């Protein structure tokens, strides 16, 4: 989803930020502040939450802060539904994300066991699709 949205908006995101929290590119507006806010929000340190919230509000404004907090809270719900129902990735998504998942090490997550591993040929097809994903997404939106 992140990769697809960058293709549409033409923004640059170093996908390593998803797993490491650190980005070498930092091309997205307020990227570091957004990531810091997520990391604080998922913890128990209220001082950290307060500090990162204030920084994000200064950077993007009060309304954007509310939208960010809502998205974070929404996905805290989504991940528990996925884990609580043993939900595998949808097949097309599993296919086109195989390269990204391998690159970021996401296949090592415990809940990856819910999604069957792709066979050799499907993996090759997935890697090929991965390269043309931005074009596919742009065409879908048009």
Partner 1 sequence: MHEDNSIMTTQINETTRYFDYLAQGYAIREDLPSAYREVWNKIAHAGNWWRGEQRVAIAKEVRVARQCKLCSTRKSALSPYAVEGRHDSASDLSSTAVDAIHRLATDASRLTRDWLVNLNQQGLSQEEYVELLGIVVAVLSIDAFHRSMGFALETLPAPFAGVTSQYRPDSARDGEAWVPGIQAKLAVGKEAGLYEGSKQVPGVIMAMSLVPDSVRMQTCLSGVMYLKIDDIADFSKNGDRKISRTQMELLAARVSSLSDCFY
CA dist list (Å): 24 to 3, 12, 32, 73: 16, 11, 11, 26
Query: Among 38, 48, 39, 40, which residue's Cα sits nearest to residue 68?
Result: 38
Q: Which of residues 94-123 bind partner 1 (CB under 8 A)?
A: 106-107, 109-112, 114-115
Chain residues 32-71 in contact with partner 1, contact rule CB under 8 A: 34-35, 37-42, 46, 49-50, 53, 60-71
Q: Which residues contact 119 (CB under 8 A, 6 or more apart)?
A: none
Distance in Å, CB of 93 to partner 1, minimum: 9
Q: Which of residues 5-34 bind partner 1 (CB under 8 A)?
A: 5-9, 11, 13, 17-19, 21, 28-31, 34
Q: How far is the CB of 124 from partner 1 (least distance, A)?
A: 21
> Which helix or strand (DSSP H or E) is residue 110 part of?
none
């Amino acid at each position: 989803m992140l990769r697809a949205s960058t293709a549409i908006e033409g923004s640059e995101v170093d996908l390593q930020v998803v797993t490491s929290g650190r980005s070498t590119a930092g091309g997205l507006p307020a990227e570091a502040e957004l990531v810091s806010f997520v990391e604080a929000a998922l913890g128990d340190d209220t001082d950290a939450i307060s500090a990162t919230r204030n920084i994000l509000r200064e950077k993007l404004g009060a309304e954007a802060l509310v939208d960010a907090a809502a998205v974070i809270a929404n996905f805290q719900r989504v991940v528990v539904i996925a884990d609580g129902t043993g939900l595998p990735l949808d097949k097309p998504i599993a296919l086109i994300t195989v390269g990204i998942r391998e690159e970021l090490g996401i296949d090592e997550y415990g809940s990856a066991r819910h999604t069957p591993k792709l066979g050799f040929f499907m993996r090759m097809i997935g890697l090929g699709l991965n390269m043309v994903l931005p074009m596919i997404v742009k065409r879908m939106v048009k």
